[in-house]
Amino acid sequence: MARMKFICDAERCIECNGCVTACKAEHDVPWGVNRRRVVTLNDGLPGEKSVSVACMHCSDAPCMAVCPVDCFYRTDEGVVLHDKDVCIGCGYCSYACPFGAPQFPSNGTFGLRGKMDKCTFCAGGPEANGSPAEFEKYGRNRLSEGKLPACAEMCSTKALLGGDGDVVADIFRNRVLVRGKGSEVWGWGTAYGKPSTGGQPQAKPEGKKS
Amino acid sequence: MRISLRATALVLSCTALALAACGEKTAGAVKKSDVPAFQGSTGQSAYVANGWQSGDRTAWEQQMRNRNQGQNEYVRAPAQP
């Protein structure tokens, strides 16, 4: 199986924020934390584009590289997760991430910064799959239920694709061929373009922008 | 003689105090190992999708591929020629 990956088709995203809502509801994400959000470029101008952004589960994740307590790990499916019991909430990952994925809940009267929270690709955390402890810290573990991320599965225009990298790349490639335009995959080169084990960079589907 | 005994006792007690920290356990938590997703969920089975058997990696991977096709609208509604 290939690595799990996200693609957002900027030609299709209508900025409905359904993915954001699905994520918040699925995982009971607290106020002030957005694991996923929709970014709009040239808002209000002709040709504006929107793209749904979250953790891209990078092949060569910079957050993993900079974490001083090494709380990150990568699953067999290539999903980048972290252990909240080890995280010290220092925020280094936030500065390293090119997508602004790491989030920090503010707790207490003086806005004390809590432990890092981010998109888990609906794969939970190191606690037992589907356990209450896992849900409390990381949210639902849909992968262990035989499902894919809620944001991608409920996207009304199918702008956001998530799942096996080979499959989502095939879906996107076919789509581009049928409509004859919009082959740019924003963020793909940044997240998946580097070699993960010193080998050749992974195939880039039709993309120009990174 | 008394002074040297006191000095020895002082040195010994200081050494014991200094070495006491050596037995201190590491404060940092250790990263836990995760269970692969194909092993299934221990939560309510009502939420588990049909069509695959937990613990079977091949079945889980096939389930992921099949489920992925739900995001492919050209399978759900083929394009007009």
Between B29 and A67, where is the model more confident?
Answer: A67
- What does the mean pLDDT of chain B come to? 82
Three-class secondary structure of residue A106 per DSSP: strand
Nearest CA among A23, A28, A57 for reference residue A38: A23
Q: Cβ contact (<8 Å) for A163 and B32?
A: no
Q: Cβ contact (<8 Å) for A130 and B43?
A: yes
Q: Cβ contact (<8 Å) for A125 and B65?
A: no
Mean pLDDT value across residues B58-74: 94
Nearest 10 degrees: Cα torsion B51, B55, B58, B60: 40
Does the pLDDT of residue B78 top 70, yes or no? no
Helix (H) or strand (E) holding A188: helix A188-192
Q: In chain A, what residues touch B44 (CB-CB under 8 Å)?
A: 130
Three-class secondary structure of residue B30 per DSSP: coil
| Contacting residues for A14 by C-beta, under 8 A, at least 6 apart | A50, A156, A157, A159
How far is B37 from B77, CA to CA, in rounded Å? 31
Closest CB to B33 among A126, A146, A162: A126
How far is A73 from A120, CA to CA, in rounded Å? 11
Residues β-bridged to residue A107: A112
Fold type of domain A4-192? Alpha-Beta Plaits (3.30.70)
Q: What's the N-to-C CA distance of chain A in angstroms?
A: 24
Helix (H) or strand (E) holding B75: helix B73-76
Q: According to the model, what pLDDT value does residue A204 have?
A: 53
Q: Cβ contact (<8 Å) for B42 and A129?
A: yes
Evaluate the CA torsion angle B52, B38, A126, A97 in order and state its sign: negative
Q: According to the model, what pLDDT value does residue A194 have?
A: 59
Closest CB to B42 among A131, A146, A167: A131
Q: What residues does each domain of chain B span?
A: 54-81
Q: Low-confidence residues of chain A, pLDDT below 50?
A: 198-199, 201
Q: What is the pTM of this model?
A: 0.83
Helix (H) or strand (E) holding A55: none
Closest CB to B64 among A76, A148, A171: A148
Q: Cβ contact (<8 Å) for B35 and A129?
A: yes
- Which CA distances in Å does B43 have to A16, A134, A192, B17, B64? 31, 10, 32, 50, 19
Q: Cβ contact (<8 Å) for A143 and B32?
A: no
Q: According to the model, what pLDDT value does residue A199 have?
A: 46
Q: In chain B, what residues touch A173 (CB-CB under 8 Å)?
A: none
Closest CB to B48 among A71, A76, A146: A146
- Which CA distances in Å does B38 have to A30, A144, A173, B44, B66? 28, 6, 28, 16, 15
Q: Cβ contact (<8 Å) for B31 and A86?
A: yes
Paired tokens of A121:
């690709």
Between A49 and B73, where is the model more confident?
Answer: A49
CB pairs under 8 A between A and B: 113
Q: Cβ contact (<8 Å) for A129 and B41?
A: yes
How far is A119 from A19, CA to CA, in rounded Å? 12
Predicted complex ipTM exceeds 0.90: no
Q: According to the model, what pLDDT value does residue A206 have?
A: 56
B34 touches chain A (CB under 8 A): yes
Q: According to the model, what pLDDT value does residue B64 have?
A: 96
Paired tokens of A141:
């573990």
- Band (B25; pLDDT cuts 50, 70, 90): low
Closest CB to A129 among B39, B70, B79: B39
